[in-house]
Every structure is written in structure tokens, then in C-alpha cells.
Amino acid sequence: MSDTQYLAASTIEEAVNAHSKANGSARFLAGGTDLLVQIKSGIRKPNLVIDIKKIVELNSIEEISENEFVVGASVSGVNLNRNKKFSKLWPGVLEAFRLIGSEQIQGRASLGGNICNGSPAGDSVPALIAAGCIALIAGPNGKREIPIEEFHIGPGKTVLNNGEMLVSLKFPKREINSSDAYLRMTPRTEMDIAVVGCGVNITFENNVCTAARVSLGAVAPTPLLIKEASKIMVGSDLNSEILDKVSKVCMDLCDPIDDKRGTIDYRTKVAGVLFKRATLTTIDRIKGN
């Protein structure tokens, strides 16, 4: 039996130092909705748990310039939802985040935790990738930035080195005529894990798509940014032929596993369907329907 130490850090520096000194045996604690479950079931046995919820930067939502947001890594779903402006600009990100767990879980769960947990099925990640978010990271050797689509390197594995923490998520300045959507397939309506998740983020002006990002979750070892999709969509009017084409691309790029949660065949088909539905929802949102 091992004793676990608990540290509530009040600054980034304190947290990062404590983590790097522990040489891999420490875990950051945000909402704990993944970590505590993992500790209880014996998957993780950290010697040191560093609570990061008291660090100001990690807990704030800032509009650094008009329509440009930075969201702290440990802001809870409930708190992000309270920010009316953010929810208007990024409805897809918010709906992805709000799908996580129940109302009780929402009071704790964070975007940072969802990303850093590293599950290929994490719901917020495809929406954040589609949004074009940048991860702001702090570590013993200073700060760095990295696009979310490069954050994951395998199931449960991220680019974070020992001592490094995710501080916040920087969203691009929101252009007009833009919106986003996230859809996931789960057998249950709630309290379930995505069999496939799809985030779509589009700018659509005068019936022409001028920017598009599509991301898929749970269909590969890491969440995917479907770069091909952007190429086909941008410049088009997003007619049904275009959507069919991109849907096919999505299916081709899927590399899922067969498991108790879904078969390769099923996941692949679902990816194509969700892409289309999420795109239509996004277009509706832009048109204000």
C-alpha cells in the first residue's frame, strides 16, 4: 500500500515544479472525474496529486480581444456554459463539453482534463480541433503552444512531458457567418461514451464555404483532423454531392478498432453519417435557423 500526497497548488510555477520533481509519479487533478475513477479502480497509483483548480489562469475565461477567447484548462462545464458570449460564438464546442457526463459531472469536469486524459473518444476534443484551438502549455522549461490536433500521440498519450501542464485553450478570433457543431453516436441518450464523435466548424458566406475544419473522434488511436475535408468544402456551396464526397473521405480515413463498443464497419459508417448531420446543423446555425 502506498500513501498518496495531496497538494493544492496556487501558481503554475508551484504546480509545475512539484510535478517535475516527482519524476512521473505525480498527476494533476482538475475535476477528477477521470483521475479519481482511475485511482479507485487501480489503473493509476500516483504518489502525488496536484490540485490545479486554485490556479487563477486555469480557472478563468477571458475575452482577450473582441470575439477572441482564452479558456482556462480547468474551467468546469457549468462555468463555461454561464458565459453567454462564448456559448453564442462556439455552440459546437459547448455542446461537446456539455455532453460529458451528467449535471453532477458537469460541475467538475474540465476541457483540460478531457484533453489530457488522452482518450480517443473524449467528446470535447474533435470540437476543439475543428475550432482550431491552440493549447497553451507551461513546463519546467517555460511555455509552448501547440495546435490541439497535434496534442495526442496515442491512446492515453499526449505531447506533455514530465512537469508540463496544459494552462489554457486559445480560440481563434471568431469571424462572422461562422459556427460549429458536434455530434456523437452513443447507444444511450446520456451517460455514455462516444462510439464516434464528429466536430465541424464552418464559415459560410453568400452560399460559399470560405473555411471549414472537420474532426473525428473514436475512429482512430487519436482524434483526427480531416484535412482533405477542408480542401473539398472550401469554395463550394456545400451541396449534397460535396457532402457525400466528404462523407466518403471521412469514412476512408477512419482507422477504428473492433470492440465491445462498436465494430470497424459500424464506426466507419457512422463517421460518414455524423459528418453530414453536423455540417447541416452548422449551416443552419450560421443561417440563424
Long-range contacts at 149-156 (CB < 8 A, ≥ 24 apart): 149/215, 149/223, 149/224, 149/225, 151/115, 152/118, 152/120, 152/125, 152/222, 152/223, 153/222, 154/118, 154/221, 154/222, 155/118, 155/119, 155/120, 155/221, 155/222, 156/117, 156/118, 156/119
Q: Which does 263 bind (CB under 5 to 8 A by kind): another protein, ligand FAD, none?
A: another protein
Indicate the pairing of strand 26-29 with strand 48-51: parallel
Q: Which does 99 bind (CB under 5 to 8 A by kind): another protein, ligand FAD, none?
A: ligand FAD
Q: Is the dihedral of CA 201, 203, 204, 210 positive or negative?
A: negative
CA angle 16, 79, 118 (to 5 degrees): 50
CB of 109 to another protein, least distance (A): 15
Three cell numbers, residue 281: 446543423
Q: Which does 270 bind (CB under 5 to 8 A by kind): ligand FAD, another protein, none?
A: another protein
Compare residues 64 and 191 and give the one whose CB is closer to another protein. Answer: 191
Compare residues 53 and 276 and give the one whose CB is closer to ligand FAD. Answer: 53
Q: Which does 27 bind (CB under 5 to 8 A by kind): another protein, ligand FAD, none?
A: ligand FAD
Q: Is 196 one of the binding residues for ligand FAD (CB under 6 A)? A: no
The contact mask relative to ligand FAD for 86-125 (x = CB under 6 A, - = no) is -------------xxx---x--xxx-xxx-xx----xx--
CB of 156 to ligand FAD, least distance (A): 9
Closest residue (Cβ) to ligand FAD? 113
Compare residues 127 and 270 and give the one whose CB is closer to another protein. Answer: 270
| CA–CA distances in Å: residue 237 to residues 175, 201, 206, 225, 242 | 18, 15, 9, 21, 8
Q: Which does 265 bind (CB under 5 to 8 A by kind): another protein, ligand FAD, none?
A: another protein
Three cell numbers, residue 13: 510555477
Three cell numbers, residue 250: 471521412
Half-sphere exposure of residue 115: CA atoms within 13 angstroms, side-chain side: 32
Cα 67 from chain centre = 20
Compare residues 1 and 176 and give the one whose CB is closer to another protein. Answer: 1
Compare residues 183 and 225 and give the one whose CB is closer to another protein. Answer: 183
Three cell numbers, residue 11: 501558481
In the region spanning residues 4 to 63, those forming contacts with ligand FAD, defined by CB under 6 A, are: 27-35, 37, 52
Q: Which does 269 bind (CB under 5 to 8 A by kind): ligand FAD, another protein, none?
A: another protein
Q: List residues near ligand FAD by CB under 6 A.
A: 27-35, 37, 52, 73-74, 99-101, 105, 108-110, 112-114, 116-117, 122-123, 160, 165-166, 191
